[in-house]
Amino acid sequence: MTTSPNTGSATTSTRGGPARVRYAPSPTGDPHIGNIRTAIWTWLYARHTGGQFIVRLEDTDQTREVPGSLDRILGSLLWLGLNWDEGPDIGGPFAPYKQSERLPLYHAAVDRLLADGNAYRCFCTPAELDEMRKRQQEEKRPPGYEGKCRDIPREIAEARALDEHFVVRFAVPREGSTTVEDLLRGPVTVENRTLDDFVILKSDRFPTYHLAHVVDDTAMEITHVTRGDEWLPSAPRHALLFDALGYPRPAYVHNPIILAPGGGKLSKRHGAKSVLEYAEDGYLPDALLNFLCITGWGHGDDTVMSRERLIEVFEIDAISLSPATFDAERLNWLNGVYLRQMPEAEFAEVVAKRLEIDLSPDVPRPLDRALVAKFTPLIKERVELLTDIAPLVDFFYLSEVATPPVEQFLAKKWKDQPQATADALAAVASDLEAVEAWDAATLEAALRATAERVGAKAGDLFTLVRLAVTGKTVTPPLFESMVIVGVAPCVARVRAAEGAIRASM
């Protein structure tokens, strides 16, 4: 018997219209970044079509459950701005949205499959199955259940079920083939003989993913099933289940996974963290959203796309078929782009919040917002990650900046010239004291004059001053920074540097 191929009716009838789609995570820990990308695409598709985005908890494996997962999953979505219309926390017309609370639904489906002869009870023990697999491996045969219990007469099976552990397996047709329509790649056909009789109900009376997916996505009227393409090989099983239960099949979108640079699985080593970790590390939600969305999907020549823009132009069937590689550098660049685009006040607030985390505990909190607002314009285009900020501006907060090692001053043009260097700094200090207005333009003019007087190039002198005042070689613009630091500390720091150099002579 050949299963009739899905003609794509579900696909064509729902194209373009409002989509009911779902994100269905397992509470087994923080969602993986690839998993989140699927959620983003799914959400965008719902918003693009004016449909609904639903969250459903797939908690059918009691042994793998990690406490607190649900909160972190929902927290991740929230942080990314992926709001849901129905879910385990807010309920909805098809509640409950936790599979562990929907057991009766699965049992009803199993009863029907059993009654129709599309499923059967299997009494094989785990030990027996292990042994079977071992044998298959030795004989170089494909692994899979061979149907030992498939032909047990129903009355006998029912009797044994009274006091024996059992699972329920779907009776896959032994012949023919099954075709699944994937929105991205068209028809995918597999021979039924390559499918084994998979378990749909475990011995603890919980469903497996296969059954739960079919029952719930039907009950919740999901139009498009979006999931990672590790599910593609089992999609025909699901199709068979839909057919056996007499349910219409949803449209499927199996998207490729994200690869690590160099190939293979993505891990923390490659800069892939959980969403919440990105949040902690100071990435912007919109930047991560944008980045994840365009890795594995594209819209013409566009790269930087706002949330609104993405909703507007996102087409789910434009998802790329080949697995994309995670490009952390691109993410960082995008984060910088979003940072630079931010309105001044908003940027200042983000900076302040971050500094309250990163700055030394000696600095009193809450941070002086007026001071933050002063240097914020100086650093805006110098920051890619929020963690770049503290090292760039900490000298604004220190009453005393430690003078860097003398060697740092006596480099480049000042190499082996401690006398000239010290004299130059001395000149700087006295000229700064004499300056009549403490603003950037005046300071620059004054120090350029100083440079000429001591016979140094302006840039070389500025390097000295920068080092003395900030303790760093890389800083925000020097004169603007000095204005913020103030005349007295600047002079003191320059004198301290001068002293250190003289002491080393």
Closest distance between RNA and the C-beta of residue 31, in Å? 11
Interface with RNA, residue 324, by CB under 7 A:
yes
> Segment contacting RNA (CB under 7 A): 45-53, 280-288, 317-325, 398-406?
317-325
Q: Which residue has the tokens 């890795």?
A: 295
The Cα–Cα gap between 178 and 325 comes to: 32
Binding RNA by CB under 7 A: which of 8, 29, 92, 129? 129
Q: Is the dihedral of CA 247, 249, 250, 254 positive or negative?
A: positive
Asked whether position 300 contacts RNA by CB under 7 A, the answer is yes
Residue 375 found at the interface with RNA (CB under 7 A) = no
The Cβ of residue 221 has, within 10 Å, a number of other Cβ atoms equal to: 12
CA-based torsion, 48, 54, 58, 59: positive or negative: positive
Supply 224's token pair.
């498009």
Under rule CB under 7 A, residue 234 binds RNA:
yes
Pairing of strands 324-325, 186-191: unpaired
Considering only 89-97, 369-377, 472-480, 484-492, which stretch makes contact with RNA by CB under 7 A? 472-480
Residues 6+ apart with CB under 8 A from 23: 38, 39, 42, 43, 53, 54, 55, 56, 77, 82, 84
| Beta carbon nearer to RNA, 327 or 368 | 327
Which tokens go with 61?
A: 């494996």
- Please give the residues from 430 up to 469 whose contact with RNA meets the rule CB under 7 A: 440, 444, 458-459, 462-463, 466
Amino acid code (one letter) for 340: R
Toward RNA, which CB reaches closer, 144 or 489?
144
CA angle at 145 for the pair 140 and 146, rounded to the nearest 5°: 80
- What residues between 183 and 202 interact with RNA by CB under 7 A? 185, 188-191, 194, 196, 198-199, 202
What is the rounded CA–CA span in Å between residue 12 and residue 5? 15
CB of 427 to RNA, least distance (A): 17
| Residue 476 touches RNA, criterion: CB under 7 A | yes
Figure out which of the listed residues 131, 221, 329, 433 binds RNA, where binding follows CB under 7 A.
Answer: 329
Closest distance of CB 361 from RNA, Å: 27
Helices and strands (DSSP H and E) totals, the chain:
21, 11
Tell me if 358 contacts RNA by CB under 7 A.
no
Residues in the interface with RNA (CB under 7 A) total 86
How far apart are CB 260 and RNA at their closest, in Å? 9
**Does 323 interact with RNA (rule: CB under 7 A)?**
yes
Is there a contact between 152 and 138 (Cβ–Cβ < 8 Å)? Answer: no
Burial code (b: 16+ CB inside 10 Å, e: under 16) for 168-192 equals bbbbbbeeebbbbbbbbeeebebeb
Nearer to RNA, 193 or 365 (CB): 193
The reply to whether 268 belongs to the active site is yes
Q: Are strands 52-55 and 119-122 parallel, antiparallel or unpaired?
A: unpaired
Q: Is 474 in the site for RNA (CB under 7 A)?
A: yes
Rounded least distance, CB 300 to RNA, Å: 5
Could you report how far apart the first and last alpha carbons of the chain are, in Å? 96
What is the nearest approach in angstroms of RNA to the Cβ of residue 503? Answer: 26
Q: How far is the CB of 154 from RNA (least distance, A)?
A: 19
Kindly report the number of other CB atoms within 10 A of residue 374's CB atom.
16
In the complex with RNA, which residue's Cβ is closer, 112 or 185? Answer: 185
Pick from 157, 232, 427, 490: which binds RNA (CB under 7 A)? 232
Instruction: Specify the DSSP class assigned to residue 400.
Output: S
By the rule CB under 7 A, 229 interacts with RNA: yes
Cis peptide before 366 (omega within 30 of 0): yes
State how far the Cα of 212 lies from the Cα of 26, in Å rounded to an integer: 12
Window 53-72: residues binding RNA (CB under 7 A): 58, 60-61, 64
Taking CB under 7 A as the criterion, which residues in 84-123 touch RNA? none
Amino acid found at 295: T
Task: Please identify which of the residues 98, 140, 202, 268 carries the catalytic annotation.
Answer: 268
In the complex, least distance from residue 125 CB atom to RNA, rounded to whole angstroms = 5
The nearer residue to RNA, 369 or 472, going by C-beta atoms, is: 472
Piece in contact with RNA (CB under 7 A), picked from 6-14, 288-296, 353-361, 401-409? 288-296
The Cα 220–Cα 21 span in angstroms is 9
Pick 99 or 118: Cβ nearer RNA:
99
CB 500, CB 403: distance < 8 Å = yes
Q: Does 360 bind RNA (CB under 7 A)?
A: no
User: Across the strands, what pairs with 57?
Assistant: 98
Binding RNA by CB under 7 A: which of 89, 111, 204, 221?
Answer: 204
Q: Segment 140-179, which members bind RNA (CB under 7 A)?
A: 140-145, 165, 167
**55, amino acid identity:** V
Instruction: Identify the residue among 124, 276, 398, 492 touching RNA (CB under 7 A).
Output: 124
State in angstroms the smallest separation of the CB of 290 from RNA. Answer: 11
Kindly provide the b/e burial profile for residues 140-162, where b requires at least 16 CB atoms within 10 angstroms of the residue's own CB. Answer: eeeeebeeebbeeeeeebeeeee
Residues marked active site are found at 268
